[in-house]
Each structure stands twice: as C-alpha cells, then as structure tokens.
Structure 1
Amino acid sequence: MESAAARSGESVLVVPEGERLVVLAADGGAAVTACAEYAVALEAARTREQAGAGDEDELVVGVSAPAGPIAAAAAYKQAEQALSVARRRGRVYVEHEQLASGSVLPLLADDAVRAFADGLLRPLYEHDATGRGDLAASLRAWLSRHGQWDAAAADLGVHRHTLRYRMRRVEEILGRSLDDPDVRMELWLALKTASAE
C-alpha cells in the first residue's frame, strides 16, 4: 500500500495498533486499490487451496466508508465492524458499505446467531416431532402474513380457529407473548436463520 501510494504521490498514514495496522488513505486512491487487489488475490488463492482460511497470521482487512478527518472516529468503528465480520465469515476483505447495503439476512450466517435460533426454536421442533401439530410452520405462516389469521390459515390449509389454537400453544411452549413485537422479530429472524441452513 505504501509503495502504491508513493508511486502515485498520495499520502498514507500507517499506525501500528497491537497486532493490527490502522491505515488512513485517500478514498479510491492507489493505496486502497492495491490493498483491495491484494486481498482479492489472496482470497482466490485461499479458495483454490481450501486451506488457511482460519489462520490467525493471514491478512484480514476491514474498510470503513469514505470519511473526512472530522469523522475519523466513526470511520475507525466502521472499519472495526467490517473487520469483525470478515473474521467471522473467513473473508480476507470486507467493506463497511457492504454491511450497510442489501439485506440483514446474510449476517444471520454467524454461528452465534444460529445457536440462538436453534435454542429459541428447539421446543417447537421437539413438539412437532411428536406428531401433535406443526407449530413451527404455523408460526412461520402467521408471521409472514403479519398476524393476519385468515390469510395465514389459508396458506396452511387449516381453519383460523386451528391457527389461533396453535399460536396459543407456541406462546405456552416458548413462554413468550406473540403480542410483543420484539418477540415476533426474534422468532422471524430465528426461522429465517433455520431455513438458511
């Protein structure tokens, strides 16, 4: 990065921070481009070799969104977030803008999120395994229809009263109220995580 910056006449600031380097460079400049190209080549080599993805000595880069000097602290936090995601995903290079655009669903691939989803939904899956109803599918249908009883019941091919009974059973088994929007959000994300596996 430093030699690419020097060749193009750019200034870069490299600050050692423990085992990491914090680099301040011009957005879209030669130093950032050289770093990105090296990371892409390294990731391609890792993919070909199928080894070293978890090696601690390997290069991992987190890049903030472009920021001026006044926003350096915010840019540092963004770079740390991108670095954390890169490490969790076994990636070489992640830009913060990739995290802020698109869908939150790719972030659900994290092992901790999967463990949370498995723990949250396990009682429903255990109930369904006994053949006493399909609570997980009923919950998914009800949540996907924003709690509209008739539409969700039609999707499932059951009477709305059957669906109401199933949702009461979900609340009893989980010990949580479906009237709470936070509970509904957590359950929806858990179901999305489970379906992504």
Structure 2
Amino acid sequence: MLVEHEQVAAGSVLPLLADDAVRAFADGMLRALHEHDATGRGDLVASLRAWLSRHGQWDAAAADLGVHRHTLRYRMRRVEEILGRSLDDPDVRMELWLALKATAAGTSG
C-alpha cells in the first residue's frame, strides 16, 4: 500500500488503515462482537464505538445511544467478557478504536 508522505505528515494515520493486515486484525478483533450483535441480543459494537469516542464518559456515550448509563455499563461488561480483555487497559482501548476505525474505513471506501 502506498501512502503519500503528505497524508501522514498532515497528522492523519487514517490512510494506513486500508492496509490488508490492519483490516485482518480489525476483523479478528471485532468478530465475536459482530457475531453477538447478529443474534439480536444487544448492539455491542455501536456501544463500544460510542463509549470510546466519548473517552469512557458514561453519560455522554449513553445519551448518544439513547440508552441509560447502566445499560451502557452492562454492555461494556459484556464486551469485556466476550473479548476476554479489560477496557481498563489503554492498549486494549487503542486496539479496539483502531479496529473500529479500520472497519469504518473499509466500508466507506
């Protein structure tokens, strides 16, 4: 994949997310959550995206989703259970955010 220096120098790493290895990482990281959501038992991917985009602010993320903050807390516990990883770990949050962005980049392009 060719990325122009100006794209990265301008402060955006988003062009790098189109890389096949990044997409495979993202698909693998989010697969279990997508499978859970497909059963109709909760919208964990959207909840995770909202929570991460609001930097873990429960009330703001819950308002974005139109759910009670306790519902969002429950969903984030389910994310941790399903993935077997702690959202308290900043590396995990970064990896999940990267996976969500890579997935979005793949569907928009």
Give TM-score, length-normalised by structure 2: 0.92
Higher Cα Rg: structure 1 or 2? 1
- How do residues 140-151 of structure 1 correspond to structure 2 at under 5 angstroms? 140-151=49-60
Counterpart residue type for residue 57 of structure 2: Q
Counterpart residue type for residue 99 of structure 2: A
1: CA distance, partners of 2:97 / 2:7: 23
Q: 1:101 to 1:170 in 2, by over 3 A?
A: same
Runs of 4+ in 1 over 2 A off after TM superposition: 96-102
CA RMSD of aligned residues (A): 1.3
Match of 1:155 in 2: 64
Q: By percentage of residues, which structure has more strand?
A: 1
Q: 1:169 to 1:99 in 2, by over 3 A?
A: same
Q: By percentage of residues, which structure has more helix?
A: 2
Match of 2:46 in 1: 137
Q: 1:165 to 1:102 in 2, by over 3 A?
A: same
Q: What SS does the corresponding residue of 1:146 show, helix, strand or coil?
A: coil
Give TM-score, length-normalised by structure 1: 0.52
More displaced 10-residue stretch of structure 1: 144-153 or 96-105: 96-105
- How do residues 104-115 of structure 1 correspond to structure 2 at under 5 angstroms? 104-115=13-24
Q: 1:11-70: per-residue Cα shift (whole Å, max 9, x none)?
A: xxxxxxxxxxxxxxxxxxxxxxxxxxxxxxxxxxxxxxxxxxxxxxxxxxxxxxxxxxxx
Residues 26 and 102, structure 2, Cα contact 8 Å, conserved in 1: yes
Q: Percent identity?
A: 87
- How do residues 22-101 of structure 1 correspond to structure 2 at under 5 angstroms? 88-89=1-2, 94=4, 96=5, 98-101=7-10
Match of 2:33 in 1: 124
Q: CA deviation at 1:196?
A: 1.2
Q: CA deviation at 1:165?
A: 0.3
Count how many residue pairs are aligned between Structure 1 and Structure 2.
106
For structure 1, the 5+ residue unaligned runs are: 1-87
Matching of residue 166 in structure 1 with residue 75 in structure 2: yes
Residues 7 and 15, structure 2, Cα contact 8 Å, conserved in 1: no
Higher RCO (CA-CA < 8 Å; seq separation 6+):
2
Q: CA deviation at 1:97?
A: 5.0
2: CA distance, partners of 1:195 / 1:110: 13
